[in-house]
Structure 1
């Protein structure tokens, strides 16, 4: 082998070694890139179930309570007894203010043994104004009442009433509450007797 051939062989070998070393260095010096594991997503928390805040719409239900009469016609006695009935109405919810109208009817077990007068029923037309406190609705109410009596005084007559109440939204469909009313019937059916009546009732209503 002549000198020129030896030189080419040595040069080729040197280039091959340089290339191999470069490839080895490139693979050996580069650190592997470790990707961080993605953070786990928080488990969704269900929104709490809440009721209340919307008092608008139709409702109907029933009531059970107690009533007492007061009149000079009964002497020293103030006859009292149970009452039970139904009601239906509609509310407009204006935000913090609620305005509504209602019809209700109570049958009663109130009678005065001394005079023989029985209070059979009381029907009412109510106007209600309340404050929307979320699940609570305190309100005032007033309107016209009609009382029907039997026995020694078989008659019916109109009067007026006013009172207060509060409702609570048990859930989206059911409301419970309480109401106290004061009634006044002047010169009942021309008898000359002024009759006052106080009623207190627990109420349950269904909204739809």
Structure 2
């Protein structure tokens, strides 16, 4: 029928008499309805960062009656993730969208506490190496959203599965050595939400948050007590693994995403090298939120005046993790057709911290409590940006100065009381990159990665030992606070507003 349509039109134009007898539009068959937006199978990849707080317990009982020990620990976990996803979405006429998605992820999310104490007294020498985390995970989730043109905000939830591992080795100079390890595949659940945006007829970008829950693992542990050697038997358990994940990615949709009137063909190269269709020149302000983490080390040294030769030094390493949120402002200048340069300043509240809390009770009289939180409570950056514009997108690299408040605290009770703390404002540097996409004339969304680095803090440390031993005096310091930050946000271009205000004032 469609092949006959051009012949009918040509004949009608050439022969008016025949055209008068041609079928009316009312008699013509109805046009095929447009394919629903977003209805398609798709496949894609993603990259992100995640973390949380992990709790572990371990207990031992000796063959010697009444001799036992039990330890509970809390550590922050963090790490990168990367993987792929595939699924199907279906669009209804009322713009509601339902779908099903499965993903599979490699994961470096884990908690780690490594601590070593060297001392002139052999009984004070200790070493601990504790790890818990997720080696890989996947999820199969339903998605429900509402399509607003190119934009698809959605919520998601379903089953999750992954490999959870935990291991620990500890040695005390007093003669106690313990070890335990276990790896298991666990089934739990995941829920969250995100935003997907159609870049062209086949390609879409997504930014997503997921909360992932997997049951913990446990197993047997063995130990050897002080001479005369007494075997110890026990068990350990890592409690549930609860982690927060932020990630971004790309999806390729087979058959396109529907009838968006202004979308180009689905070639990735065509999208990257398309002519810029948006002018990035101007001032802007915006908001952002995300998640970050890294690794921080610390060292504490004590000496005991009046007791020649008695000294000890402890070094420890812990992972940091936490949310960030804040605002940014800056200026872009479109130097050439594709090249954009600019400067940006941001200010961030931060919950990124290292957290190691441990309490050990040993029968009949032993007790040790340790609490060593380190954190960056706020930070900001002032950075240059250089980017490449194509279509409505701007990909960029960025770097500059960073500044923030770094805090370190530590306390321990073990036959005595020991502690030290410091809060210092630090200057450092930041380096990263990201992508922005113009949604309207003034509104754009962004996804960004930053590595922010600050030098460590230091201060005095003090200890009070049981009488008649004299007090201890010393100092502590931390290594570099390096934080990987993944964040998403929105910017509002205000140059038009400023120009209008200036014109009105004149």
Task: Please identify, of 75-84 and 119-128, the stretch whose mean Cα deviation from structure 2 is larger.
Answer: 75-84
Query: What's 2:144 paired with?
Result: 129
TM-score by length of 2: 0.30
- Aligned partner of 2:211 in structure 1 is 182
Higher normalized strand content (fraction of residues) = 2
Structure with the greater alpha carbon radius of gyration: 1
The farther-off stretch of 71-80 and 138-147 is: 71-80
SS at match of 2:201: coil
Runs of 4+ in 1 over 6 A off after TM superposition: none
Quote the Cα distance in structure 2 between the aligned partners of 1:203 and 1:88. 12
- 64-73 or 124-133, which moves further after superposition? 64-73
Q: Give 2:49's aligned residue.
A: 66
Whole-Å separation in 1 of the counterparts to 2:106 and 2:211 = 16
State how far apart, in whole Å, the 1-side matches of 2:98 and 2:133 are.
34
Of 201, 204, 208, which aligns to 2:250? 204
Deviation at 1:203, TM superposition (A): 1.3
From 158, 161, 167, the counterpart of 2:187: 158
Q: Which residue of 1 aligns with 2:162?
A: 147
Q: 2:316 is matched with which residue?
A: none
Structure 2 counterparts to residues 1-208 of structure 1, below 5 A: 54-73=37-56, 75-95=73-93, 96-114=95-113, 115-150=130-165, 152=167, 153-186=182-215, 188-189=216-217, 191=237, 193-208=239-254
Give the aligned CA root-mean-square deviation in angstroms: 2.0
Query: Where does the alignment leave 5 or more consecutive residues of structure 2 unmatched?
Result: 1-35, 57-71, 114-129, 168-181, 219-236, 255-506
**Cα drift, residue 151 of structure 1:** 5.2
Q: Distance in 2 between matches of 1:189 and 1:150?
A: 7
For 2:107 and 2:39, locate their aligned partners in 1 and report how far apart those are by CA, in whole Å: 30
- TM-score, normalisation: structure 1: 0.70
The offset of 1:107, in angstroms, is 0.4
Q: Which blocks of at least 5 consecutive residues in structure 1 are unaligned?
A: 1-52
Q: Deviations over 1:47-73 (max 9, x none)?
A: xxxxxx710110000000001032222
Work out the number of aligned pairs and report it: 156
SS at match of 1:60: strand
Higher relative contact order (CA 8 A, sep 6+): 1
Q: Which has the higher helix share?
A: 1
Post-superposition Cα deviations, 1:88-122, rounded to whole Å, max 9, x if no partner, equal: 00001112100000110110122322222241111
